[in-house]
Chains A and B, each alone.
Chain A
């Protein structure tokens, strides 16, 4: 069954939305959209480093994304503005990554696959990384759910209950780094935050509680993956972009359906 490239693509997409539905909801609630974008752009440096040192792509991107999350946490704790820190780090890492890529002849022509993703080319090994990473992210979120939601509602309330908001923030950043690493093969660095934000934003209109929003976002993600791959197959459109485009259409419908 896994021999079929389309089956593998569907499984890869479903694995990804398993993590992005819930994590994306936190990204929307905590206004981390720019953070997600920055981490994804920085991942290009990870791709270049993986090629230079012959590491698996996932290790290189994960390493850079985690380093980015830790440095951002450090610098913002020292009073630097989040916006500025992200702008500096994301673009520096992207620029360094592009410079690095120029030293890897084989990557010069293949960079597109990491900017825009190539879900139709995922291998069995990719699937193992994607499902392993997604399960880890989802497990982390379920385990700390009450603490994460409380800290996202109000940090003072969280602190009074003995929750350390800085720690929960760091956990979300690390989960985000993990998602960036597994998503780069699927939708590419440029569209990773779309997978996080668009389904969650579409789910907002249908949800009365945080749990309903995370669940709806996951369901919308599933529809987008299946619809996007179907469109890609029959209309010969790029798969990753089609998945995001379907999410955007669902978002537009949610605005009309749930007008309050």
Chain B
């Protein structure tokens, strides 16, 4: 099937910086595919997303988006000024006005029904992320782009959010491109993982990536956890993996 976005030989430099943030990166995403980009801080994850969306100037390469591609975008760290009054309902109508029924359905879909009249600034981090996702879904997207959507959420919140993403994908058949730090959860939720550090270090199925030397070198001890996840759970226990690593507060077990 045709790619939704295909990028070849992508390089991006920031003004005044010596080294390019992105160095000859190739990327593609197919319909209904969940692709997650992982990498250390400063590895160019967000820049890659912004380049794919056409928000930054490229110093080399090109990005092809499928004609008329509808994208639902949840940017990193959306901050709403307290000086600006904004109800959830009003926020959903930015920049395209939507009907009440549509807005209510989107909030229902992302698990935060009835928040319409609440002020955005009064929402918890988890509620706000779901409202952002609801807003993105209102565009009836073929591709959802989520930049660090679980920042500031606790572990159960993160697991629940990725579960929601998988449900949304199953229901709408939208492809999902995510940037994430949550290695353990990412490895369960993604079809394909791209490990980025200025260039693409490795990419493939979560299982292949978590065994790749480049990935293990990059994430050190944390990568041992994801590898262990596959050795101990992934191949045998599909039903419980989604909740498999949520432990009680007293649990000192390490993976």
Contacts and interface: CB of A to CB of B under 8 A. Distances in A.
Residue from the set B16, B75, B80, B97 with the largest chain A CB neighbour count within 10 Å? B75
Given A154-B75, A156-B73, A160-B53, A210 B84 contact: yes
B119 A158 contact: no
12 contacts: A31-B81, A146-B97, A149-B94, A156-B73, A156-B75, A157-B94, A159-B53, A160-B73, A161-B95, A161-B96, A209-B90, A210-B85
Contact of B95 (A147, A156, A204): A147
B95 A154 contact: no
Interface in B195-233: none
Interface string A10-31: 0000000000000000001111
A157 B83 contact: no
Given A29-B81, A160-B53, A208-B85, A150 B95 contact: yes
Interface in A154-174: 154, 156-161, 163
From DSSP, what is the main secondary structure of chain A's interface residues?
Answer: helix
Interface of B: 15-16, 50, 53, 55, 71, 73, 75-76, 78-81, 83-87, 90-91, 94-97, 117, 119, 145
Contacts of A29: 81, 83-84
Interface string A213-250: 10000000000000000000000000000000000000
A105 interface: no
B78 A154 contact: yes
A207 interface: yes
A115 B76 CA distance: 44
Contacts of B79: 154
A153 interface: yes
A208 B119 CA distance: 7
A204 B83 contact: yes
Interface of A: 28-31, 79, 146-147, 149-150, 152-154, 156-161, 163, 201, 204, 207-213
A159 to B, nearest CB: 5
From DSSP, what is the main secondary structure of chain B's interface residues?
Answer: loop
Contacts of B86: 153, 209-210
A146 B145 CA distance: 22
B73 A79 contact: no
A32 to B, nearest CB: 11
B255 to A, nearest CB: 35
Contact of A153 (B55, B80, B119): B80
A204 B85 contact: yes
Nearest to B78: A154
A75 to B, nearest CB: 14
Contacts of A208: 85, 87, 90, 117, 119
A159 B55 contact: yes
Given A154-B78, A161-B96, A210 B73 contact: no
A146 B78 contact: no
A208 B145 CA distance: 29
Given A149-B95, A210-B84, 11 more contacts: A28-B83, A29-B83, A146-B95, A147-B95, A153-B84, A156-B78, A160-B53, A160-B71, A163-B95, A209-B85, A213-B85
Can you list the 8 inter-chain pairs with the closest CB atoms, starting with the nearest? A156-B75, A160-B73, A150-B95, A207-B85, A29-B84, A209-B90, A150-B94, A161-B95
Nearest to A159: B55
A209 B75 contact: no
A156 B97 contact: no
A153 B94 contact: yes
Contact of A210 (B71, B75, B90): B90
Contact of A79 (B15, B81, B96): B15
A31 B90 CA distance: 21
A46 B50 CA distance: 42
